[in-house]
Amino acid sequence: MKHLISIDDLSKDEIIGILDKAEDFEDVALGLRSCKILEGKILANLFFEPSTRTRISFETAMKRLGGEVVNVSAQEASSMAKGETLADTVRVISNYCDAIVIRHFLEGAARFAAENSSVPVINAGDGAGQHPTQTLLDLYTIRKECRRLEGLTIALVGDLKYSRTIHSLIKALKLFKNKIYLVSPEILALPEEFLEELDGNAEKAKLEDIIESVDVLYVTRIQKERFLDEEEYRRVAGSYRITPEIVSRMKDGAIILHPLPRVDEIDVRVDSMRQARYFKQAFYGVPVRMAILSEVML
C-alpha cells in the first residue's frame, strides 16, 4: 500500500487483512508486548485542523512500534503562513520522514499531498471528504464487539451530509451485507453520490421506529464548522439526542458508536450503560493505526 487516501483504495480482502493485523497488535497497543518493527522510521503528522484522538493515536501507534514522530500543527505555525503552497510544504517535509499523516480543511487536499510527496501519505480527514483510518477502526470495533461484519442492522444518525466519517464508512459498508438506516434532519441528509454507493441497501428512517432493531447505532455530532450559515446550524443543532430512555429500548448485544468528539448528542448518563462502546472504539484506533503504519512503511 503506497498511500491511504480513500477507503476505496482498499479491497475487501485488504480491509480484513488490516483488521487481522490490528488484532495482532492489540497487546502491543496496551503495552503488554514490545514490538519495534518501525525503529529508525520517522512519521510526520501534518495537521491543519484540530485533532485529539487521531493525532495522538497515530503518535502512540508509531512510538509503540519503535518509531519517531514529528508534529506540524496548524497553518500558522509553518511556512505556509509566509505564503508557501501545500505542494511545496509536502515536497519538503517528505524529504525529512518516511510517511506523512495529513489532516486538512479542504476536501481533496490529502490526494493532492500524495501527488506531491515522495513518501506514503495517509489521509486523517480532508474537509467533508473522507476519513479512511476512522472507518477501519469503526469496522474493527464492530467486528470485535458484534463478532461479525455482515448480517447487521446499522443506523447512521446525525450529520450525514458533512461527516467524512460517515462518507468513508458508507464506502466500506457497501462491501459487507448489512441493513442500513439513515437518520438525519433533511438538510443534513446523505448526499446522493453516497446514497448511490449503497445501491438500494439503505433507507431513511425515524430513530424511534427502528431503535429496537439495530445492532449498531452510529452517532455523529452536528458539525458547526461545516456550516456557512449560522442560522441553518441553529435550526438543526440538537436534532438528535441519545438518552438512557432511548438506549433502554435497544436489544441485547446492541452497541453505540461515535467517532468523537461529542457535544450533546449522547447524554453523558449513557456512558455507563452496557451499549456504550465509543471510548473503547477510540482505543481501538491505536492498534488499527499500527497496522496501517506497518503496511505503508515496511
Cα 147 → chain centroid: 20
Domain ranges of the chain: 7-131+285-297, 132-282
pLDDT one-digit tens code per residue, 173-200 = 989 989 999 999 888 899 998 988 888 7
Among the four given CATH numbers 3.40.50.1370, 3.40.640.10, 3.40.50.720, 3.40.50.620, the one describing domain 132-282: 3.40.50.1370
Residue 234: the pLDDT is 72
**Over the chain, what is the mean pLDDT?**
92
pLDDT band at 225 (very low <50, low <70, confident <90, very high): low
7-131+285-297 and 132-282 agree in CATH topology = yes
Residue 211: other Cβ atoms inside 10 A: 22
115 pLDDT more than 90: yes
Q: Which residues pair with 153 in a beta bridge?
A: 179
Secondary structure of residue 200 in the 3-state scheme? coil
Q: For residue 265, give the C-alpha cell.
A: 448528542
Give the pTM.
Answer: 0.94
Query: Given the DSSP bridges, would you call strands 68-73 and 179-183 parallel, antiparallel or unpaired?
Result: unpaired
pLDDT band at 266 (very low <50, low <70, confident <90, very high): very high
CATH number, span 7-131+285-297: 3.40.50.1370
The contacts of residue 116 (CB under 8 Å, 6+ apart) are: 86, 87, 90, 91, 94
* Residue whose C-alpha is closest to residue 6's, from 141, 171, 139: 171
* Residue whose C-alpha is closest to residue 19's, from 133, 169, 166: 133
Is residue 140 within 8 A of residue 169, CB to CB? The reply is no
Residue 267: the pLDDT is 97
Residue 51: the pLDDT is 87
